[in-house]
Amino acid sequence: MNLKEIKQPEQIKTLSIPELNVLSADIRKFLVQSISKSGGHLSSNLGIVELCVALHYVFDSPKDKMIFDVGHQSYIHKILTGRIEGFKTLRQFEGMSGFQKRVESEHDVWEAGHSSTSLSAALGFAITRDLNNETNQVIPIIGDGALASGMSFEALNQIGSEKRPMIIVFNDNNMSISNNVGAFSTACTRLRASKSYTSLKKDLSRTLNKNKLGEQLLHVMKDVKDGIKNSVVDASIFSEFGLDYIGPVDGHNIDELIKVFESLKDHTAPIVVHVITQKGKGYSYAEKDLQGDWHGVGKFNVETGQSLSSLAYNHLDWSSVLSESLIRLAKEDENILALTPAMSKGSKLDKFAKLYPDRFFDCGIAEEHAMTLAASLAISKRPFISVYSSFLQRAIDQVNHDIARMDLPVVIGVDRSHLVGEDGETHHGVFDISMLYSTPNLIISQPMNADEAQDLMYTAFRQEHPFLIRIPRGSVEYKEKAFEQIAIGSWSVLKTVQDMKDIKVIVVTYGSDVERIYQKALINETPILVVNARFIKPIDYRCVDTIAQANLPIIVYELDVLHGGLSSAILEYCNDQKYCVNLTRMGIQDHFVGHGSLPQLKKKEGIDMNSLFDRINEVIHE
């Protein structure tokens, strides 16, 4: 069957097992070729091709609810539900999302971009089904990294109590973005390597060839599970939650998968199907990847596996700037520790982990736990925790209650701040300032360049309060420098003309746009004063006094949401001081921003550089 011919998933139900295997091979080939041109989540999708094919072969979407945890591994689901043409615009501006999206298709019954929501959502669908006296099945598909998170365990606790039928597909590939950590992952490894697993596969093979498949299959699976439950943690952990459990099942054997799912269609209780898959299967470079390099990729050469993007020789990505600074500081201070919730590769802390393995802690996909752990460490140590801005949203209470309330000196690297591009609304890092601004004791900063980033890291470890350092996605010109301490709450200014009398507009902003605005103004000979508001909290009150009393138009330019941001803080202060200011606010309005390239998104939001300078010129000529 030609992939382009698939408009609805029921079309594959007439195919034979050999034909389904050919279909799976065609899907893998298409994914590699397509993602090499668009970028996207490659390894996770390559790993579940047969699993998705089997699910759509057995179940009836959208009547049966398939919920992909995180949603980044739903590419096969999109192909089988008639959206292959959408891959031409995958993750592009106003094109097809890289995640499940309810507005895209009736088959996308849930959407997410953060992990561990699928089980809670599945319970909601199961409750709704039962209240409506319906008979559909609910099938969350969740990986071993997400299943080990706190939210998943909270959901399992109630799922086991409610006893509502659902089929929880436990997709076990021993990876989330990179290698999983923790006791749960260790338990999975023991099960995969156990003699019981080998025996189970043989029992399953024999059972699948018998009549009355469902009854005998569950009987054999239960006997094997009961025989190993005392020695293998994860065979018993589900039963402790009151869940039935079968597996492990070969996640790349379509025949086996179909027969297992067929046997469970009418199961009357929640059951976990443990499926073993290989992340990146079918593409050698992804198969060999143990570091997470092929989890989410940009454009690449299919034959060589080489990325088609590269950094300038004197540039470093922002995450590495903080990491390199941390390593230099840790060399001189053995009390400095590093933590991250499953993002050691993305946050470039893997080098720190190799140098100081006893001082590095990967907490898994558990932002809340990671923050509170950092808080307790800060009582006697100096922890640095790196977390993506969009994931930091999941730990707001811990920052407030456990860190800021006790005024503990945790240094928080807020990675991927501002708009991040193609991953869209679930990943944009535009909310952390407004969410945290009202938190007492908290210092929020963002450097304009790599020099200032190094100095802010140094400053953060030489003071005694919670300290956030925000950095965007992307790279920056970098050269190692001697550390210098920066006064907390201080701003700096850049003038495009020598005489202040010639200044026509004051632009207040933060981050890498400070220098971009300054350089463009120099080239255009635009008479402005650029204020580097490197501390977003506390603001530089003396500087605000000065610019408010200058009686000049002020533009506050932000790449984050306006409500509760820097301009809000400036206006509040000016109001309290009875200053009458002519202040224009530029930033993201009260809505979620979709996916696309950064230039496209900024232009749509009216916060690109051209929009800013159009506004500057309008103000000058008013």
The three-state secondary structure class of 111 is coil
Token pair for residue 238? 């589900």
Active-site positions read 279, 367, 394
DSSP symbol at 530: E
Find where tokens 């809000």 sit. 568
What's the CA gap between 366 and 565, in Å, rounded? 27
Please give the Cα distance from 91 to 7 (Å, whole number). Answer: 21
Distance CA 41, CA 43 (A): 6
- DSSP for 545-594? HHHHHTT--EEEEEEEESTTSHHHHHHHHHHHTT----EEEEEE-SS---
**CB count, 10 Å around CB of 102?**
11
Asked whether the beta carbons of 508 and 531 are under 8 A apart, the reply is yes
Structure tokens given for 300: 């690449």
- What tokens were used for 386? 């790196």
Q: Please, which residues have CB within 8 angstroms of residue 352's CB and are 6 or more apart in sequence? A: 323, 326, 327, 330, 338, 359, 360
Residues 363/340, Cβ–Cβ less than 8 Å: yes
CB within 8 Å of 534: residues ≥ 6 apart: 445, 446, 447, 448, 452, 456, 486, 490, 491, 492, 510
Side-by-side strand order, sheet with 528-532: 492-495, 528-532, 505-509, 554-561, 583-588
Decide: residue 290, CB within 10 A, 0-12 exposed, 13-18 middle, 19+ buried.
exposed
> CA dihedral in degrees (246, 251, 256, 260; nearest 10)?
40
Answer whether 190's CB lies under 8 Å from 164's CB: no
Helix (H) or strand (E) holding 23: helix 17-38
